[in-house]
Structure 1
Amino acid sequence: MILLIKNNKGGIGKSFLTCQIAKGLALAEKKVLVLTSDTQNNVFNMLAKGELDKKGLLASMREKKDYSLKLHNFRFLPLEKTLFVGGFKEKFNNWINGIKKDYDYIIIDSTPVLNLDKVFIDVADKVIIPVTCDESTFIGTLNIMESIDIKKILCFIINKYENTKVQKKYRALIEKWTTPDNLFIVKKSSQIEQIIESKKTVWDYKNKQVEEIQEVFYNVISKIILESES
């Protein structure tokens, strides 16, 4: 399954969510590759120290070699640059169709990059849409939903949720888009800040506060696996 984590707005926590889902699937003994359209490669920066190799997605496509690296217990293929030559879509489709047999899941941490955005949407089997409960994200997410085949949307994840009047308002609006079993809520937590600072994931901790977060991601991952095996 090719899974796209998609929202055009920054600061929602797409890379954080990608890391938790990827490692959770890997812990379930699934082979996972994470791609990104972000040249800052936030997935790498969240889980590792040091500098990346200069070769990544584009070199892998061009040279037909595997330049992915191991992050925790999944593979990550960085992006070198956002300058793409003509015919990228066809080359990317051929490349990803050639490697997807080697993985149970390919997860794409997507940012709005010219020439990449629609390519990733088209190639994805399912899309997870992370949101935060504020007006600009709400409006932006409506626009995304208009550009994606509704059948591709697997679920929504409300991230950084706080039980305030404003956030409850937008949560209620978001709940109208979907059913309860397709909506997951990750509450804002100082523990998450510490997890990110320590370059770890929720799966590396054992305490009650983190267990509540783990349960949310466990349910997301269960849904992904169920969908891919149906």
Structure 2
Amino acid sequence: MPTTAPPPSPYPPLNVRVHTPRLSLMGATDELLERLLPVVRKGVATGPPWPFDDPMSLYEDGPEREWSWLRSVWRGRGRVGADLWRLYFVVVADGEPVGMQDLTGTDFALYGTVSTFSWLDPDVRGGGLGKEMRQAVLHLAFDGLGAREAGSDAFFDNHASNGVSEALGYAPNGVTWDTRRGEPAEIRRWRLTRERWAERRRGDIELAGVRDCLPVLGIDPPAPDRAGGSGAAR
């Protein structure tokens, strides 16, 4: 069931919501971020294989982790425009915040490409929520925003993330390198086209607050019936 929506914010990105039968992606308001702090406080990354590239506040110890994490979200929420935007969502399951799912676009009006980033409470991993939240944000990208393709990447030994990409129809898209905790490591890159997503498009995902957010992102309303999606920006 959809999570009860908070009072609308004057800032449209915070009103965007995606609902599936198992969870909701809710615009990352300060109230939701504060409710998510206990999960951050646990220390999401507690041992190898390390899932995040440098720099990453979720590797830090002490209250600095919380401060760095909050500052990064606040900065990202304030740097939104047609050339670059990042939408931050708190993942809510059974009424409780359990992680975050982000969606990023660079020169989206020109390229129509997005990328995703997420993390999940270690206590609820392994139950399919990671796949569900990726499906939710992909529905927003393709059906709500009219994306042409979505990219994802993960370190070679991040089997959970790479497994979700493969299960959702992404195709391998080469490799690259980055550092984690100061050490180099190989990253697997993935690519999902709109046509490939449309083959597996779900009919039980609901969008809300998208249309009012489009001008903030520099996006024109998607055309209807584009490669298998309704393009309805709700």
The TM-score with structure 2 as length reference comes to 0.30
The TM-score with structure 1 as length reference comes to 0.31
Greater length-normalized contact order (CA 8 Å, ≥ 6 residues apart)? 1
Structure number having the greater helix percentage: 1
